[in-house]
Structure 1
Amino acid sequence: MKNSTGNNKSSPRLMNPESEFDMNTEFGLPGNATRRVMFALDIARECSDAFSNPKIEAILREALNRIWLKLLTIRSYVMTRNEFAVFNFFQDLNLDSTMAEIATRARAIYWDQTYGNSQG
């Protein structure tokens, strides 16, 4: 996916792990923030130039950074449905091989835990 400047989305920049973060909440944010993230995601899905709005971009990138922090902290972390939606929205990020492997594993864990192992 391309951003408003026409460039491919860059690799995720991880947030400062010392900032306020709650592993037990969706996106590691206070509960009421989930609505804001999902509203921003809806706008980004519907509007091709949504990333020209710095608030939309900041909300979604912060949510993505917090998802990555969970995935890097807990190897078997199962994303919530909303986290997976945001993570999947950014599926075209340029990732190095290690991060790509983590992303692939995270998607597989989500699908297996949500819909069961289809091999089974």
Structure 2
Amino acid sequence: MSQKITRRDFLNGVALTLGAAITPSPLFAFDEQTNPGKSAKYYPPALTGLRGSHPGSFDAAHSLRDGTFWNQAGKPTDIGEIYDLVVVGGGISGLSAAHYFRKVAGAKARVLILDNHDDFGGHAKRNEFRVG
């Protein structure tokens, strides 16, 4: 440690340190593979399938509008069930309507909630409508 550091050695050391600091590390790419949430391509709704404007999502409603729905759906049959309230839509508004109706009408009130998805939540859950 008794040797003096020359100006050249000092500048070479600084240059080496700066070069190492600005060189991208392959560990950053590894982190993106192990933690996909940090990726710019990460979009959680796409992981379970988007809902909304996929092909076929509006077919039933459009066939009702056009008067052709019952040609393909078949004849409805009465199954004898009676409901006090039928709610169309299992989103936050429909679920709230059903909840508040049962609070007023009592626990024995029969409520049917109809939704075009396989689970409740509506737009608040995961529903994508993309333009273009």
The higher-RCO structure (CA 8 Å, 6+ apart) is 1
Kindly indicate which of the two structures has a greater share of residues assigned to helix.
Answer: 1
**In which range does the TM-score fall when normalised by the shorter chain?**
under 0.3
Kindly indicate which of the two structures has a greater share of residues assigned to strand.
Answer: 2
TM-score, with normalisation over the residues of structure 2?
Answer: 0.19
**Bigger Rg over Cα:** 2
